[in-house]
Amino acid sequence: MKKIIAKVTILWLALLPLYGYAQSLTVAIPCTDTIQMLYLYDYWGESRKLIDTAHRNNEGKFHFVLKSGLPAGLYSIQSGRQKADIILSDKEKRVELSICLNDPLHAMKSIRSQENAIYYDFLRINEGLWQAIGALENSILRYPRNEPFFDTLAQKYQRLQEQRIELIEDVQRLYPDSYAAKLASVYRTPFLSAHLSNSARSQVMREDFFYKINMADTALLRSDIYIEKANRYMEMFMNPNASYEELQIEMITAIDKILAASSENEKVLNFMVEYFSAMMVEYNFVFVLDHLSENWMSSDCDDPSESRLQTRIKRYQNLTIGTQAPSFAVRNQEGEAIPLEKIDAEYTLIVFYASTCSHCRQLLPKIVERKRKLSNDQLEVIAVSIDEDESEWERYISTNPFEWINVREAKIWDGSVVSAYNVYSTPMMFLLDKDKKIAAKPNDWSELRKELNKIGL
């Protein structure tokens, strides 16, 4: 480890400290002359925003003039699909780098940047240790434990883990004010004894994954390090053989652990909640969204510039089980206004669909079949189409025996009913009781059938 630290120290001391406002970034790409323009992006979590571009100059370099007061963070230089992450901050007046975008880890040379010298040297050393640990881990898991050589493998495996922990701690100790040290700190992983069984290893990883990791540093929001850490943790809970419901339960367990680790700082917590909310919306994990809404989201928000996602989150809070369903009245084919509260049935099922949606086409006939066994007093169905083409919708309902209330949201995704029920995909269902309170939000036919069986329908 002394050699490792000496290497980092040499790189650090070889560069003169330059403090003040960041003024310029100069990048040389010696491995190719085909790149004529370079793009500079900043990070906010996994999101990136283009902040500047530079053309190749007469010296074959790319020169960016940076704004003063540039916040410390991870930035990205990119050409086509090739990119490299670098550290920029207002502490370094000039940053000069030489890099090959097809292999930035091994081809990065920091001509003038303390931060990038430390960061890339750390990344290279860490990669070597991590690869060695992984190779030994595979051997240990297969090697007979009663053989004498197993102890040699175990000692080497555990020593490599100790060296990796020492590397991270030494970078933090030697350069506590550097952004590179902040990033390095999040690379820490739990120490695993070579004698642990597979199940015990998994348990340690799940319980100690965030041990000694500071998830409260808002400066690291200007990187993707928290997102990468969270995604790696969630991978441990992804069982390909789990059912839709079981997978969501596992996701809730993982997300709760991540958010608990992030809860020391409200800004970081809100950032992570918003990230997971967007992810669960994309996956259509309704149970997880409900859990986030009920346990981790604040309903207090007076900011008029709140994001579209924050608006969606607030709507979710108004659509939890047991809450009053939003009232609405839309016109059917005959032009009659149908107020929700006028539906006189023990239960009302609202189904949002589109005739072009294949899942909807599979779901609706099954609801028709179930509905035929019940009276309108027991179950009424309001099928709300979001078809953009009205003639397409009329043709669809005229050729299908839908014996229920058929309506169409004229403004499609921006319609008042769609917005009130926070509809972001189809099909989407809400089962209401006699008082028009939300009794269930089944995601598919299997879940709807269970809910109907539960209430005797």
Q: What is the tens place of the pLDDT at every residue in 140-152?
A: 988 888 888 899 9
Q: Are 254 and 234 in contact (CB under 8 A)?
A: yes
- Give the single-character DSSP code of 51: E
Q: Are 444 and 429 in contact (CB under 8 A)?
A: no
Residue 339 phi, psi dihedral angles, 5° rounding: -75, 135
Q: Write the pLDDT tens digit of every residue in 226-271.
A: 999 999 999 999 988 888 888 999 999 999 999 999 988 999 998 9
Strands 82-88 and 94-98 turn out to be: unpaired
pLDDT bracket for residue 129 (50, 70, 90): very high
Q: Write the pLDDT tens digit of every residue in 372-417.
A: 888 878 999 999 998 878 888 888 888 888 888 888 887 777 788 8
Angle between helices 149-174 and 114-142 (to 10 degrees): 160
Predicted confidence at residue 161, as pLDDT, reads: 96
Question: Can you list the domains of the chain with their CATH numbers?
Answer: 18-112 (2.60.40.180), 119-282 (no CATH), 329-454 (3.40.30.10)
The distance in angstroms from the start CA to the end CA of the chain is 69
User: How many of the other CB atoms lie within 10 Å of CB of 333?
Assistant: 13
Predicted confidence at residue 23, as pLDDT, reads: 76
* CA distance linking residue 5 with residue 448, whole number of Å: 60
Angle between helices 244-262 and 266-283 (to 10 degrees): 170
